[in-house]
Amino acid sequence: MRDPLSDIIELLRPRIVFTKAISGAGAWAVRYPEYGQPSFCTVLEGTCLLSVDGQDLLTLQAGDFVLLPATPGFVLSGTEAATPKLADPQLAATITGEVRHGKADGPADVRLLGGYFVFESPDADLLVSLLPPAIHLRDAGRLSTLVRYIDEETKEPMAGRDLVLSRLVEVLLVEALRRAQQQGAPASLLRGLGDARVAQVLREMHGEIARPWTVAELASRAALSRSAFFERFARVVGVSPMEYLLDWRMAVAKDLLRRQYSITDVADRIGYGSASAFSTAFARQVGNSPARFAREAAMTGASEPAE
């Protein structure tokens, strides 16, 4: 039976961009604009504050880990009041050595190690929408270790560096999302995977994506009445069962089309009885025909040979 979390991370195709050591002392605050790509940090020592747009203020302390799957605007600051200064994440990536905020001299009140990476999948927005906007974990020792490994790897241009980094980031994501699922999450795929009955259905849908599922059959797999299952799934995942299934099928379809699978083959793999039925559903959902989508993907160099 397939693992939905692994499926989604595989389609997201995360790749590292950079990591940076950050420290602060005294009164300081920096505001980062909305970035759109995922970012993360671990607190090595001390305490600071994180205010993510639209989220509650977070107090970060040594051992904490934060993941922002789409990185909205946020303010990072010390514990003393200060007016935020605008920061440029692209410029920060070019700075050699540690980025220091506040008092330049003396010991730091807080030290962090953070970074940004990208999801290479053009469908990242769809998939990221299934995740919480901010994940804050306490006592995240394993994640802190992974961030240190990533930092070391980015600084050493050794053979196989890109492969090692991509695998480390995948493990970082799995560990963070797994921990977030355990600690509770808002309506999202993670919360669904934390609900035994909904998780069973998610695994069934991912394992047999081409099966002609109905709400009644999915409810039976969850050992719930149709109405109770529908309400429970929508409440914990954030979308209805059929909406989730359609979104996932179209994400898989786009991935297969980029990899030059035929429209007939794609239709068969994701559960459509004919190429025409699939084409109609795809155009309605994506706003483009499968054939045109595949041509445009090939032109941008996003396609890979079919297996």
Which pLDDT value is given to residue 304? Answer: 52
- Rounded CA-CA distance 98/111 in Å is 10
Domain with CATH 1.10.10.60 in the chain: 195-299
Residue range 4-183, CATH number: 2.60.120.280
Distance in Å from the first CA to the final CA of the chain? 21
Express each pLDDT in 264-282 by its tens digit: 999 999 999 999 999 999 9
- Rounded CA-CA distance 276/165 in Å is 41
Using DSSP's 3-state secondary structure scheme, residue 18 falls into strand
Which pLDDT value is given to residue 213? Answer: 96
- Rounded CA-CA distance 281/250 in Å is 9
Express each pLDDT in 137-195 by its tens digit: 998 888 999 998 888 887 777 788 788 888 888 888 888 887 776 555 667 787 888 88
Q: What is the CA radius of gyration of the chain?
A: 21
Express each pLDDT in 12-44 by its tens digit: 888 877 888 999 999 999 999 998 889 999 999
Domain with CATH 2.60.120.280 in the chain: 4-183
| Amino acid, res. 201 | V
| Fold entry, domain 195-299 | Arc Repressor Mutant, subunit A (1.10.10)
Q: In the structure, what pLDDT confidence band is assigned to residue 223 with cuts at 50, 70 and 90?
A: very high
pTM of the model: 0.74
